[in-house]
């Protein structure tokens, strides 16, 4: 007897696939948080140095580096990117605006 594997195609957001109510927010935090970790690892900083750079207590640095992004707001994660000398560009447009033009805002 052969057993058939059943696969379901992902929506691209694992949190939505799991049925979590804040799926979009969790997904955004994850994407931002991963970028923060990537930049920190490129700099080869010790946790004490990361703490000073980001203005976080050292235990919170540990949570960040372990990917516990739910502990940080989107705003806080964006602030970390700013402190890591990252230019952040937001494209603002109506969700169902069709071909309406978007406004671009650069956060330095």
10-residue averages of pLDDT along the chain (108 residues): 74 88 91 95 94 95 94 94 90 73 70
Which domains occur in the chain, in start order? 14-107 (1.10.260.40)
Q: Which residue has the tokens 């705003």?
A: 75
pLDDT at 103 (0 to 100): 74
Report the pLDDT value the prediction gives residue 92, as an integer from 0 to 100: 77
DSSP state of 104: E
CB 67 within 8 A of CB 60: no
User: Measuring CA to CA, how many Å separate 9 from each of 6, 17, 40, 79, 95?
Assistant: 10, 9, 33, 34, 24
């Amino acid at each position: 007897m052969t057993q058939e594997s059943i696969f379901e195609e992902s929506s691209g957001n694992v949190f939505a696939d799991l049925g979590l109510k804040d799926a979009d927010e969790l997904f955004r935090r994850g994407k931002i948080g991963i970028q923060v970790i990537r930049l920190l690892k490129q700099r080869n900083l010790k946790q004490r140095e990361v703490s000073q750079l980001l203005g976080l207590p050292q235990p919170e640095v540990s949570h960040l580096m372990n990917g516990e992004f739910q502990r940080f707001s989107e705003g806080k994660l964006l602030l970390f990117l700013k402190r890591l000398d990252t230019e952040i560009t937001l494209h603002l447009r109506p969700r169902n605006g069709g071909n309406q033009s978007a406004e671009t805002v650069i956060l330095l």
